[in-house]
Structure 1
């Protein structure tokens, strides 16, 4: 059965999709700073694409479940993302950039939840191999942050939109290359009910609350980490390598996730991820000027994203029936978007008024809250 899995086609899509994230997460806030916007406006502009994750994944997820045309949705989303982001060349005013951020994100966030369902459908009973496919997304992220970091050492940030559009072209091409797959029918427990009944089980609700909190805690990192390090005197090439180091750690954890999930429960993996996230944000807020500490904090990305995301994908797959998979993955993306948007917004205002230390301290508290919630035993939890 392993030979039937289109490994490289699936991996290629993840490579370009997360290369786009690697183009945005470290450099989008820096680009807006280059354009002269204040910390508050930067936080708002970065929050807009995350806010679109509150709407887009659920709409497209419902459409995917109803029509079953998930790959069509992925391809349309990829093309419309490219077209809408190209509008950035028309104007650099705050209002226009806000529109571009909202419009391209509406289509971009339609893509991944549906593609996750397609990937798991290709894997069939080999869902534990998901991490082996997904790690190529991490490699794409590394390629983007290292490449662009080196590029911006020598060239102006004015070329940033061109670099982003180049990656988007790769997403479109790879989406055409991927073959379709439909989730297999599987027996579902008696009385499992529809999507909302499955969602309202105590363990499932607690999980989604923790997803939101985890993404809130990432707000300062994805919005101001690069700016923070530049203020501390690090060069852009070094900053790109530091972003890449975090994703290398993420790749390594993906390679062993199948073994970890066989040995530990999903709840144990999630608790460990949240606790390490709390420690990481504390270190970034207090000791980022010490390069050795910064290296350790970046290696913790293995937990704050890698193990957390892999465990979360498995949790969603186990918690929803095959007819609700698209909506389940979309809700995961949505809660991540809500949390990420709130994180970007609070960090924008906190950064300007309280500074990096307290901004990262708030992030640490959000991660600790998630650890406490998910650690509490609940009926039907994984």
Structure 2
């Protein structure tokens, strides 16, 4: 299968992510919702990460109709986008609409990543050249939409979302069906692997890392807007992080060869503590804020790649999907959802900057917990990389 379809899918999907991640909180504030209501609505995508990807992955493996599921889910996502303006400023209506939108878009990555790996023939370099279209899409969503929303108003966000989802539908429809691989022999039980102290420490640190990032993804734009930054400036600051992410993807092979995945994971947690402390204490000073966004290369780029590499080494091939699903559930689902709710409570009870200082503390705690990951596991695949 040619890679054009999956490149277009990544471009459209991450353009939407680039629009929604920084600007949804501003839209909800613009239509008059309280910070408590905004916090609950921003926890929706985190909760959907608990049930969405495993469901779509199970459906794809069971049916073998991956492209069909991408088409169905993209149409559902378009429907959710079109319902968003009809929900207006009613919290009770926005909650199910956003749940529908995030549930449908939860299919794109687990299925899309599988198709991308098939299209790349397992070649990491070729896969990277496919996957980078997602980073490009995020930059388009963040940078292009800042001036657009400044000019047209934040209340137009649902219609721009619908336009992007129309592109997602088009990209899914131009993809050809990909046969699902045959299941291999039964693997050893995942439960035995999870009893290892370093594996438990790994997932605990993942929970804390994504807990720490929840305030960033949910409230950074609103925080910066309250400090006086324009929507265009906010978009550019988000883009700085993504450009840094792309850059580290190009050079990370040498970093992994020199330091290994475990050391890089450990370092990324401490770097995250520094990043969120900078945001909480020095966000009014632009150079400090730019530095904090440049550190996204480490706190997301390195952490994500090292996480995937570690799970690949620690779990057998027949367990990789379950291991990745567990990471999404523990990190993005449980950690992300609880992180948003805690950040909301701290924002309301103390101050916005305090929410980011709590994130810094959570990342530092993750760095302390991660020390257990250096203990030998005594099994094949347990090397530090």
TM-score, scaled to structure 2: 0.90
Question: Which residue in 2 is equivalent to 1:170?
Answer: 167
- 1:370, 1:119 → 2: CA distance? 31
Q: Are the aligned partners of 1:50 and 1:337 in contact in 2 as well (CA < 8 Å)?
A: yes
Equivalent of 2:202, from 203, 207, 215? 207
SS in 2 for 1:27: helix
Equivalent of 2:250, from 231, 255, 261? 255
Coordinate RMSD, CA, aligned: 2.4
SS in 1 for 2:106: helix
Question: Which residue in 2 is equivalent to 1:24?
Answer: 20
2:133 is equivalent to residue 136 of structure 1:
yes
Question: Which residue in 1 is equivalent to 2:351?
Answer: 355
- 2:319, 2:40 → 1: CA distance? 33
- 1:86, 1:225 → 2: CA distance? 26
- 1:315, 1:64 → 2: CA distance? 25
- How many residue pairs match? The answer is 376
Taking the TM superposition and a 5 Å limit, the aligned residue runs for 1:1-150 are 6-92=2-88, 93-127=90-124, 129-150=126-147
Question: Which residue in 1 is equivalent to 2:273?
Answer: 278
CA pair 6-331 structure 1, distance change in 2 beyond 3 A: farther
Shift of residue 272, structure 1, vs aligned partner: 1.9
Shift of residue 61, structure 1, vs aligned partner: 2.0
Question: Which residue in 1 is equivalent to 2:295?
Answer: 300
CA pair 264-75 structure 1, distance change in 2 beyond 3 A: farther
Q: Are the aligned partners of 1:13 and 1:171 in contact in 2 as well (CA < 8 Å)?
A: yes
Shift of residue 323, structure 1, vs aligned partner: 4.0
Runs of at least 5 residues in structure 2 that lack an aligned partner in the other structure: none
Taking the TM superposition and a 5 Å limit, the aligned residue runs for 1:166-245 are 166-181=163-178, 192-245=187-240
Moved more, 304-313 or 193-202: 193-202
CA pair 231-212 structure 1, distance change in 2 beyond 3 A: same
SS in 2 for 1:171: helix
Question: Which residue in 2 is equivalent to 1:156?
Answer: 153
Shift of residue 195, structure 1, vs aligned partner: 4.6
Question: Which residue in 2 is equivalent to 1:268?
Answer: 263
Shift of residue 341, structure 1, vs aligned partner: 1.3
SS in 2 for 1:65: helix
Q: Which has the higher contact order (CA 8 A, sep 6+)?
A: 1
Q: Are the aligned partners of 2:262 and 2:310 in contact in 1 as well (CA < 8 Å)?
A: no
TM-score, scaled to structure 1: 0.90
